[in-house]
Amino acid sequence: MPAVNKLTPMSGDFLLDPNIVIALFAGEQIVLEHLGQADEIFIPSIVIGELNYGARKSSRVQDNLARIEQFTASNIVLACDAVTTSYYGGVKDKLRLKGRPIPENDIWIAALALQHDLVLISRDEHFKEIDQLKVAAWN
């Protein structure tokens, strides 16, 4: 994989982290503006799982599950495959060697972004630890 700089693009192909989807659900203007300029948006299947877990912990379980179902139906969801596992292993090993572990689900999300050459949109600072991952925050 060639070295890639960390970018904050205004348009392109993006992979959304849960905190950005939650900001979208909350109607954050900055996120809505960026989404309006995006060429294509992708959602990791891992993010849908995290959103489902959050919905089940909420006080409005059925409403939130319905919103996630509608969101999933209207977006492209990327699932992990055998190629993703190779990226996952490389990312996790490099983080281990750096002594900078991050949550497991975030390694899978990063692996999908690297595999598909997408800019990961997240407000989690720990993604900056992953070499060659293009990250933007949309704050």
Determine the pLDDT at residue 1. 30
Residue 79 lies in a domain: yes
Determine the pLDDT at residue 68. 97
List the CATH number of the domain containing 24.
3.40.50.1010
CA dist 8 and 24 (Å) reads 18
What is the pTM (predicted TM-score) of this model? 0.89
Domain count, the chain: 1
SS3 state at 102: coil
Task: List the structure tokens of 72.
Answer: 């999933």
What residues make up the domain containing 26?
13-133
Residue 2 lies in a domain: no
Question: Could you say which residues of the chain have pLDDT below 70?
Answer: 1-11
Determine the pLDDT at residue 8. 39
CA dist 104 and 120 (Å) reads 16
Determine the pLDDT at residue 11. 52
